Structure formats: structure tokens, C-alpha cells
Amino acid sequence: SLKAEVLGLQQEKWLLDGLSASKARWNVLAQQIMVMDLDRDPSEKSAVNPDSWAGYRSPRNRLLKQIRDRKIANPVVLTGDEHQNYAGDLYLDGAHPTGAPIGTEFVVTSISSGGDGVDQRDDMAKIQAVNPQLKFNNSQRGYAICDVTPERWQTEFRVLDAITRRDGKLTTRAKLVTEAGKPGIVAA
């Protein structure tokens, strides 16, 4: 039977061996699908996005367990391809986020696809309410600026109120920080 994986086992070994050998203050995984384990159904039922790492539970848990168990310093995941902005903490089980987070994830929207967007969609406000690991969500177009020092990683989400007009106004929607040695997102 064919097993669904995000990375092949050789790729996974290469990644984890490289992270384990890293002497970097910040260990960054830049990739295209969300690692954060979000319940996308705010009712008593639950649902995950099968096109994210949450749709691949075994490899996701294997990766996060290894990052945790190998004590990889300050893991930060940078993700695109969601058409929304997100920021949150990484746990093995997003439905039961207990203990210290394993790492932090910042997900950035597209710059121009999907129309103007809104600050936060009603459905996403309900999803955020049942996902305590999700610290920020925004549905406007824009980009992020990461300002990194040895002491802290700050991500500034810059958004446009409109992309369908030339006079769209660019603003800072949020500045979020994770401190070295203290996984978890806090407001800047």
C-alpha cells in the first residue's frame, strides 16, 4: 500500500540531521503548506485541511517529535500558499495544546490573488476561537517582514486595505514576536 508523506524518508533524514547539526540561533523551515494543526470545523466535529501537514498526521508528528526530542534551537516555520495570514504555536496535537510549544509558525498570504480580502472572515474568527494555538489570523493581501536578532524573532504583517484600486493603503496589521529559548508567540 502507498503511504502518504510530505517528505520522503531520505529527505526527512537529511532535514533532521541538518537541523541537529545546526549551531544557528534560529532554525528556519521555509516551505509551502501549513504545519500548524488547526481544527477547521468550529462545531463539536473536527476537520483539517488535507492539503496541509495536518492532512499527513504521521509525518507531521514524526517531524515535530524529532524537533522537540533533538532539542532543535528556536524552530520557526515560514509558510505561504494559504491566501490568509496566520501566526501560531506548534504542538503535536492542536486539539490539546499542552506544555510549551515545539516551535512557531508564520503563514503569509498572497500579495494580490483572491481580491481585497477583509480583516478577518467570520468563519475564521470562529475557527480561531476553538484553536488556542492560533494567535493571529487575517484575510487581507500583503506580505510579512521578519526582523531577527539573537534575542527575538519579530514578524510584521503588512496588509493592503484594497488591491483592486491603485490607492490601496498599506498598514501594519500585527507585529508578533517569539523570544529565543522561549517558544510561543507574543505581541510585540
Reported as a single tens digit per residue, the pLDDT across 1-43 is: 456 788 888 999 999 999 999 999 999 999 999 999 999 999 9
> Which of the two residues, 110 and 126, has the higher pLDDT score?
126
Query: Does the residue 157 lie in any domain?
Result: no
pLDDT at residue 1 in the model:
45
Q: Is residue 102 part of a domain?
A: yes
The pLDDT confidence band at residue 119, using thresholds 50, 70 and 90, is very high
Evaluate whether residue 149 is within a structural domain: no
Report CA-CA distances (Å) from 183 to 4, 102, 121, 125, 141.
Answer: 29, 7, 28, 24, 27
In a domain, 173, yes or no: no
**Longest alpha-carbon distance in the chain:** 54
> Is residue 184 in a domain?
no
Q: Examine residue 68 and state whether it is found in any structural domain, yes or no.
A: yes
Q: What is the model's pLDDT at position 3?
A: 61
Asked whether the beta carbons of 91 and 37 are under 8 A apart, the reply is: yes
Centroid of chain to Cα 63: 15
Range of the domain at 70: 9-141
Check residue 168 and give its pLDDT.
94
Count up the domains in the chain and report the number: 1
Q: What is the mean pLDDT of the chain?
A: 94
For residues 95 and 37, is the Cβ–Cβ distance under 8 A?
Answer: yes
- 42-50: average pLDDT: 91
What mean pLDDT is predicted for residues 93-104? 92
| Residue 112 pLDDT exceeds 90 | no
Report pLDDT digits (tens) over 141-185. Answer: 999 999 999 999 999 999 999 999 999 999 999 999 999 999 999
* All three cell numbers of 14: 537529511
Give me the pLDDT at residue 132, please: 95
Comparing CA positions, the residue from 37, 77, 30 lying closest to residue 57 is: 37
The answer to whether position 44 is within a domain reads yes
Residue of 140, 129, 125 whose CA lies nearest to 174: 140
Instruction: Identify whether 137 is part of a domain.
Output: yes
Task: Give this prediction's pTM.
Answer: 0.94
